């Protein structure tokens, strides 16, 4: 490896990878066969409501956990206050933080059986930690308290694992480009990039007109992996992997081509080299970096629900330039995927399931809760929740614009292993290793393919 320590090696040296290994040893990795059996089981009849569930007249203590930014924290807390005012016998204790390190913390809680009663969960957590249905309540049994008719079948089916409706979807999401047009205008560019040629031209203009420390875009390792898949799907028109069996659909040569595409963005000054970024920012998230705040990094490829987080982070001289871009076609097909952004689940250790279900319904389906939550977790997937949020003016226009563009463009499906924490973990995952190795000059794209495929096989992918 290079003498300059990479972010992944730094975190490995400080012990982060040891924690990830412990979770893997506890069985946090799903097998492709679990995915297949779950998908087949989704055709089974739904469980009926548990008529024995009833609300208590006495005092009830509930706990809930979520991750997010400051505005999401504020929305949840305001909604919980409103819920407790309406249900005076219920006290809700929240636990929340930013995303960094959150999955590791929650994985340990799921394994230990001490997670909160209600958990905001990533879609793939159902496979990672409850592929056998052991961690989360089948919400079909709570239909007396959650109006399950408010969600489209496809979104609900995505959360149906091991013959169990293990969560309800909060929102659907996908990736799109965001640009700081204040900086683009300084470089003499007046329109958002709409093609690969536009990106390459922007890289040249930024370097020549603004200097070597200005870049049209920056992406971390996981973001690069998503963009690489987006590129390959645009060109070849096939899912990255089978969404049921997690069988990889791409050859080594095609993957090398995708990695070379990412490297070309770095080589042509479209994207900041990871080594350069880490030297200035260590493990600071992009939206918290000085380069993003001041406009030296002028673009990002992020979830539609992240629009306001990136916009609000800009300083006053750059805020007005924040723009939702267009999806870029790198080939004849529409690349990228949409997915369940997050869900709300009830853990099987919850002692007050009826009250927990009532809380979920309040947050997602009822006027008071949904109008407070708005689009802080993305555009609501609940039909009733979306209407209440819209009527309250609580759906942020940036998020709505981004979500509409994503949902109109993306057609590919995501497999549940793509976001396995051993692959995507910031700093220590296989995606990090792959792109660090390329940017630090330790591997060519062709050589890095083997590293990527070995890591994918280790979490359950079938690689031809």
Q: What is the mean pLDDT of residues 276-285?
A: 92
Is the pLDDT confidence value at 85 over 90?
A: yes
The more confident residue out of 305 and 357 is 357
Contact 407, 338 (CB under 8 A): yes
Enter the tokens of residue 244: 């049921």
C-alpha 65/C-alpha 116 separation (Å) is 6
C-alpha 373/C-alpha 122 separation (Å) is 18
Contact 427, 433 (CB under 8 A): no
pLDDT (tens digit per residue) in 21-55? 333 333 333 443 333 333 433 444 456 788 889 99
Q: What is the pLDDT of residue 9?
A: 52
C-alpha 419/C-alpha 123 separation (Å) is 9
Is the pLDDT confidence value at 14 over 90?
A: no
Q: What is the mean pLDDT of residues 3-9?
A: 46
Structure-token match 């979104």, residue found: 155
C-alpha 233/C-alpha 387 separation (Å) is 34
Closest CA to 178 of 233, 217, 204, 223: 217
C-alpha 200/C-alpha 266 separation (Å) is 10
C-alpha 307/C-alpha 100 separation (Å) is 18
Closest CA to 266 of 253, 254, 275: 275
Q: What is the mean pLDDT of residues 118-122?
A: 97
Q: What is the pLDDT of residue 433?
A: 98
Is the pLDDT confidence value at 123 over 60?
A: yes
Q: What is the pLDDT of residue 35?
A: 38
Residues 6 or more apart whose CB falls under 8 angstroms from that of 203 comprise 215, 216, 265, 268, 269, 270, 271
- pLDDT, averaged across the chain: 90
DSSP 161: E
DSSP 319: G
- CA torsion 362-77-395-143 (nearest 10°) is -20
Where do the domains of the chain lie?
46-173+341-401, 175-337+413-458
% pLDDT > 70, the chain: 90
- Expressed in angstroms, the distance from the first to the final Cα of the chain is 29
Q: What is the pLDDT of residue 263?
A: 98
Contact 199, 219 (CB under 8 A): no
Tell me which of 232-241, 255-264, 407-416 is least confident: 407-416
Q: What is the mean pLDDT of residues 404-426?
A: 93
Is the pLDDT confidence value at 267 over 90?
A: yes
Q: What is the mean pLDDT of residues 87-102?
A: 95
Q: Do domains 46-173+341-401 and 175-337+413-458 have the same CATH topology?
A: yes
Residues 6 or more apart whose CB falls under 8 angstroms from that of 307 comprise 178, 324, 396, 398, 399, 401, 402
User: Could you tell me the CA-to-CA distances from 285 to 170, 298, 367, 370, 433 in Å, in that order?
Assistant: 24, 15, 34, 29, 17
**What does R_g of the chain's alpha carbons equal in angstroms?**
22
Residues 6 or more apart whose CB falls under 8 angstroms from that of 361 comprise 145, 146, 147
Q: What is the pLDDT of residue 31?
A: 40
The more confident residue out of 231 and 98 is 231
Residues 6 or more apart whose CB falls under 8 angstroms from that of 165 comprise 46, 47, 138, 139, 140, 148, 156, 159
% pLDDT > 90, the chain: 82
Contact 441, 2 (CB under 8 A): yes
Q: What is the mean pLDDT of residues 172-182?
A: 97
Enter the tokens of residue 132: 């056998």
Contact 312, 396 (CB under 8 A): no
Enter the tokens of residue 415: 């497999």
Contact 310, 287 (CB under 8 A): yes
The answer to whether the Cα torsion of 24, 414, 342, 69 is positive or negative is positive
Structure-token match 């390459």, residue found: 200
Q: Which CATH superfamily is domain 46-173+341-401 in?
A: Periplasmic binding protein-like II (3.40.190.10)
**Structure pTM?**
0.83
C-alpha 187/C-alpha 208 separation (Å) is 8
Is the pLDDT confidence value at 4 over 70?
A: no
Q: What is the mean pLDDT of residues 318-324?
A: 98
Tell me which of 135-139, 348-352, 356-360, 409-413 is least confident: 409-413
Is the pLDDT confidence value at 153 over 90?
A: yes
| Phi, psi of 392, deg, nearest 5 | -85, 0
Q: What is the mean pLDDT of residues 74-81?
A: 98
CATH 3.40.190.10 fits 175-337+413-458, yes or no: yes
Q: What is the pLDDT of residue 122?
A: 93
Q: What is the pLDDT of residue 175?
A: 97
Q: What is the mean pLDDT of residues 196-209?
A: 98
C-alpha 317/C-alpha 294 separation (Å) is 8
């Amino acid at each position: 490896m290079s003498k300059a320590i990479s972010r992944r090696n730094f975190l490995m040296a400080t012990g982060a990878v040891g924690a990830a290994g412990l979770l893997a040893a506890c069985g946090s990795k799903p097998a492709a066969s679990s995915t297949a059996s779950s998908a087949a089981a989704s055709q089974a009849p739904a469980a009926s409501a548990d008529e024995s569930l009833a609300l208590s007249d006495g005092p009830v203590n509930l706990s809930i956990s979520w991750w997010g930014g400051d505005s999401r924290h504020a929305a949840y807390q305001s909604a919980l206050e409103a819920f407790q005012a309406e249900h005076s016998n219920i006290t809700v204790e929240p636990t929340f933080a930013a995303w960094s390190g959150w999955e590791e913390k929650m994985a340990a809680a799921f394994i230990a059986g001490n997670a909160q009663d209600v958990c905001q969960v990533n879609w793939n957590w159902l496979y990672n930690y409850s592929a056998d249905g052991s961690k989360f309540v089948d919400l079909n049994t709570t239909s007396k308290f959650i109006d399950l008719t408010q969600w489209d079948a496809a979104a609900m089916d995505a959360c149906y694992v091991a013959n169990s409706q293990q969560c309800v979807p909060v929102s659907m999401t996908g990736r799109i480009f965001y640009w700081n047009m204040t900086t683009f205008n300084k470089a003499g560019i007046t329109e958002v990039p709409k093609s690969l040629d536009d990106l390459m031209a922007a890289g040249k203009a930024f370097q020549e007109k603004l200097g070597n420390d200005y870049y049209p875009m920056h992406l971390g390792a996981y973001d690069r992996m998503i963009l690489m898949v987006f590129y390959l799907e645009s060109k070849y028109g096939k899912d990255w992997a089978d969404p049921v069996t997690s069988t990889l659909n791409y050859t080594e040569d095609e993957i090398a081509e995708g990695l070379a595409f990412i490297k070309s963005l770095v080589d042509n000054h479209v994207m900041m080299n990871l080594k350069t970024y880490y030297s200035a920012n260590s493990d600071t998230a992009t939206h918290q970096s000085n380069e993003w705040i001041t406009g030296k990094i002028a673009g990002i490829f992020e979830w539609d629900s992240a629009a306001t987080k990136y916009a609000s982070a800009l300083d006053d001289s750059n805020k007005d330039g924040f723009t939702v871009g267009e999806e870029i076609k790198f080939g004849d097909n529409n690349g990228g995927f949409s997915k369940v952004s997050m869900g709300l689940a009830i853990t099987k250790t919850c002692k007050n399931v009826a009250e927990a279900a009532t809380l979920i319904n309040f947050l997602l389906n009822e006027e008071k809760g949904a109008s407070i939550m708005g689009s802080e977790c993305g555009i609501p997937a609940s039909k009733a929740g979306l209407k209440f949020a819209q009527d309250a003016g609580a759906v942020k226009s940036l998020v709505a614009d981004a979500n509409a563009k994503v949902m109109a463009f993306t057609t590919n499906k995501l497999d549940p292993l793509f976001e396995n924490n051993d692959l995507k973990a910031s700093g220590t995952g296989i995606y990090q290793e792959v792109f660090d190795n390329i940017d630090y000059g330790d591997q060519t794209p062709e050589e890095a393919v083997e590293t990527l495929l070995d890591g994918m096989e280790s979490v359950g992918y079938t690689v031809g």
